[in-house]
Structure 1
Amino acid sequence: MNQRPHVLILSGLDPSGGAGIQADIQAITALGCHPLPVITCLTVQDTLNVYNAEAINADMIRQQLECLSADVPIHAIKTGALGSAAIVDVLVQFVEDKQDIPLIVDPVIKAAGGGELADEALVSAMKERLFPIADVITPNGVELAQLGGIENERSAAETLIAQGCPAVLTTGGHGDEPQITNRLHRPGSPDAEWKLERRGGEYHGSGCTLAAAIAAGRAQGLDLDSAIEQAQGYVSKAIEHALTVGRGQPVPDRGGAAATS
């Protein structure tokens, strides 16, 4: 019998299929891992924006995590939209005795269209309790400024690191420069930097795809830098073959990226 590394996913459901847990499932599968998906919130969402969201009961999440961990080895954990501060508490309790499992946190706060996916209590819970136990967090530019309390990328990342976050991958996909610059900030180490060709515009679910792909690499035993390198190559190909799904942002073709890699 064959076996693949397992990636536990906690993320929201996007009915358009462009972002959220479907993006995570597709990316993790394409990169050779088996996804273990736990839905944290339901959303009213299309390729343009998020219009409503409702968190799943935190005790149901707890039961799912306990059930899975008793049956299946977990090699990495990836989070997206978490729905509520109560779900953060459940996750933090779950990973307390699993600190050898890489935890990739995509701190989803707002949709690209501006729709809210996290209230103040959830943002505080992530910053205070989840970020310090993460392998890396992967905020986009808007999220980084909100979390770090300042527009300057480096200062915001340093603020989060000073508050206990072990590593911050800042992503440049929301800018307009000819190249996307992603930087990995860590205490006591020089920044690692990657430059990628910008293919124009923004893509629905690209941040989810990147974080999920990093989690897949970590589940396969890659170190963080190598997992980021692999993930960025995969996301670039997915964007190169992006799909027109609705009237909003194109959706990365996560299956097509695997086929052309």
Structure 2
Amino acid sequence: MILSGLDPSGGAGVQADIQSVTSLGCHPLPVLTCLTVQDTRNVYVAEPIDADLIRRQLECLAGDTPIHAIKTGALGNADVVDVLVEFVRKRPHIPLIVDPVIKAAGGGDLADSDLINAMLTRLFPLAEMITPNGVELELLTGEPDPQKAAAKLQLAGCGDVLATGGHGTGETIINVLYRRDAEPQRWHIERIGGEYHGTGCTLASSIAAGRACGLSQRAAIAQAQNYVHRAILQALKVGEGQPVPDRGILWEH
């Protein structure tokens, strides 16, 4: 199940999620949380979907279809978070992967202070994993050091934190999984160069797809990183802004 916003450029949001989980062998159940005015350069407007309509969609789907994982992206507003929290609390066995979308790469806002607080206090404690990039980690905690930021989130009740390094510099991207009960685990991935539209969405939804297929957390992360890397290698020049990862790549399961 995917709860995410609509990006009309097709580079990020729910379309990125749908393409990713489909490529990795899953069937997506997409529930829109917000509509945006957006292109490959930035987000200019974001309008949330009515929270009660989302509640009815979730209940309808859950009464008909088995759900093996839940992935969230942009959530619109705090009311949508409350609906999701109510839904997830009744289903604690389903892995919840949260991509805490706050700002677009171009700087446009996708979350106000009420939404950020709702994610911090009510949603993150229910998640198996959150997948913030460095910018999001600092916005969530006020702490520029990723390890200290992850520790601060976990002290407040958050589960595992996959701190992604795609917005950094250097020859390799370093993604670090901070866990409560074990040493951090690091993955080093070749940096292709430049910024790509929708990589965070693609990574989080790919992890959720792996968990839905029964992979362990570590195996799901490794598969997702490989998938994102290959999609970036074949990125598409859709508009005047960031290239879009080609999530239609053939994937060997």
Normalising by the residue count of structure 2, what TM-score does the alignment of the two structures yield? 0.99
The residue that corresponds to 1:108 in the other structure is: 101
Map 1:103-252 → 2, pairs under 5 A: 103-252=96-245
- How far 1:135 sits from its partner (Å)? 0.7
Query: Which runs of 5 or more residues in structure 1 are unaligned?
Result: 1-7
Q: Alpha-carbon deviation of 1:97? A: 1.5
Say if 2:24 is the partner of 1:31. yes
User: Counterpart of 1:244 in structure 2: which amino acid?
Assistant: K
Displacement of 1:188 after TM fit?
2.3
Task: Name the SS of the counterpart of 2:166 in structure 1.
Answer: coil
Aligned to 2:83: 90
Please list the CA deviations of residues 89-116 of structure 1 after superposition, one character each: whole Å capped at 9, or x if unmatched.
0000001120000000000000000000
Q: CA deviation at 1:187?
A: 1.2
Q: Distance in 1 between matches of 2:200 and 2:235?
A: 14
| Inter-partner Cα distance in structure 2 for 1:156 and 1:173 | 17
Q: Report the Cα distance in structure 2 between the residues aligned to 1:97 and 1:153, rounded to whole angstroms.
A: 32
Letter of the structure 2 residue corresponding to residue 246 of structure 1: G
User: How many residues get paired?
Assistant: 253
8 Å CA contact 2:101, 2:136 repeated in 1: yes
Query: Structure 2 counterpart of 1:38, which letter?
Result: V
SS of equivalent to 1:213: helix
Q: Distance in 2 between matches of 1:168 and 1:53?
A: 26
Q: Residue 24 of structure 2 contacts residue 251 of structure 2 at CA under 8 Å; is this kept in 1?
A: no
The one-letter amino acid paired with 1:130 is: L
Q: What is the CA–CA distance in structure 1 between the aligned matches of 2:164 and 2:56, rounded to whole Å?
A: 34
CA distance in 1, matches of 2:141, 2:171: 25
Cα distance in 1 between the residues matched to 2:82 and 2:252: 40
1:141/1:153 contact within 8 Å kept: yes
Report what 1:66 is aligned to: 59
What is the alpha-carbon root mean square deviation over aligned residues? Answer: 0.9
Which stretches of structure 1, 4 residues or longer, exceed 6 Å deviation after superposition? none
After superposition, the C-alpha distances for 1:127-182 in whole angstroms (9 at most, x for unaligned) are 00000000100001100111121101110011001111110000000011110000
Alpha-carbon distance in structure 1 between the residues aligned to 2:181 and 2:66: 33
| 1:29 shift after superposition | 0.1
Name the TM-score, length of structure 1 as normaliser. 0.96
Separation (CA, whole Å) in 2 of partners of 1:236 and 1:106: 18
Give the conservation status (yes or no) of the 8 Å contact 2:207–2:220.
yes
Q: Which amino acid aligns with 1:245?
A: V
Q: Which amino acid aligns with 1:148?
A: T
Q: Distance in 1 between matches of 2:243 and 2:72?
A: 22
Counterpart residue number, 1:5: none
Task: Using the aligned pairs only, state the percent identity.
Answer: 65
Aligned-partner Cα distance in 2 for 1:112–1:96: 32
Structure 2 CA distance, aligned partners of 1:120 and 1:242? 33
Residue 14, structure 1, aligned to residue 14, structure 2: no
Contact 1:237/1:260, CA 8 A, preserved across alignment: no
* Contact 1:12–1:81 (CA under 8 A) maintained in structure 2: yes
Q: Distance in 2 between matches of 1:167 and 1:73?
A: 25
